[in-house]
Copies of this chain bind each other. A is one copy, B any other.
Amino acid sequence: MSVVTRAWAETMRRLQRECNSFQQPGSSKSISHKFAVAGVHLGYCRPADAQAILAAVPGVFALEPSTVANEPAVLTLSPALNRDSPAARTAAVMGVMQALRRSNTMEALAGWRDELFAVAPEYGGPVYFEIERAAASLLGVSQFGTHLNGYVRTGASGNPAQDLKMWVSRRSLTKPTWPGKLDNLCAGGLPSGMSPHENMRKECSEEASVPAELSGRCVAVGTVSYTSELSRGIFPECQFVYDLELPESFQPVSADGEVGEFYLWDVPTILHSISTPEFKPNCALVFLDFFIRHGILTPDSTPLYPELVSGLHYSGPLARD
């Protein structure tokens, strides 16, 4: 695989560090407030965002001293809400975010989607409250999503680098985030209350018109996780990854207009392409993970192989171990 040089591997490692930018020197991590509910650490909030949140609707959020010496104060819910029900917390936080949205001062909230994400101390754990998807990055709470590797076996040489093609999509130019970038065949954030497999099948249908009898064969194969800091906030993200073998006759069609074009590319083309700025960075990592799991990249032939594998699975800033 002549594409996989030392320079290529270093580019992919840079991309992993870019996806993990909140963990890199120069990020806001050291000056950010931890966000906690009832003493449980759930996220991070940058100082300017915290000031805006505290000022938007008084009495919902509060700052309290950290129990760790020299750490910034902890952003929390006001004592009454800390003891209140998840529904009451959801309503109070929603009030703050709607006030901030009306003020038109927060870049993150320009992408308001009317879609709720669950806020919990761990995936599948008790939901402390729900938050508008676009607001999650202001509190730096964990976000989950589902991504699909759609592939076609085009030969039987026994060499997966020759026998496979994979579907790549180009995001619509009208999408609020990453317009025009290359992406996985289907992907989407995980709404509160929906299971990953159910969400994957929904995205298959909406984004690529994959019929139900095919999308039911999506195989869960792991995660790709990282914590980015963007101008819009802090994104501790975990993507549930699925593989789906598609027949050569299948042709994806966008049902919801979120995809501009689809391409069926061979492995060398994708290996080259994921190392360029044409790709949405986290989607490039999902392809990298596929190539590693399927023996297309091997430790015998891939510089920095151990670093590239562990760089796909960052446990994130909220890991408590």
Contacts and interface: CB of A to CB of B under 8 A. Distances in A.
Interface of A: 17, 20, 23-24, 122-124, 144, 195-198, 219-223, 225, 238, 240, 292-295, 297-300, 303-307, 309-316, 319, 321
A309 B24 contact: no
A124 B24 contact: no
- Max chain B Cβ within 10 angstroms of own Cβ: one of A144, A220, A238, A240: A220
Contact of A222 (B197, B220, B292, B316): B292
Nearest to A9: B124
Nearest to A123: B306
Contacts of A17: 321
Contacts of A321: 17, 20, 23-24
B315 A310 contact: yes
Contacts of A240: 299, 305
Contacts of A225: 306, 309-310
A307 B316 CA distance: 10
Most buried by B among A298, A299, A305, A314: A299
Closest 9 CB pairs of A and B: A313-B313, A219-B295, A220-B298, A310-B315, A196-B299, A223-B309, A195-B300, A238-B306, A310-B313
Contacts of A304: 122-124
Contact of A312 (B24, B303, B313, B319): B313
Contacts of A310: 223, 225, 313-316, 319
B123 A222 contact: no
A24 B321 CA distance: 7
A295 B220 contact: yes
B305 A315 contact: no
Contacts of A222: 292-293, 309
Contact of A123 (B198, B219, B292, B299): B299
A288 to B, nearest CB: 11
A221 B316 CA distance: 23
B197 A124 contact: no
Contacts of A196: 298-300
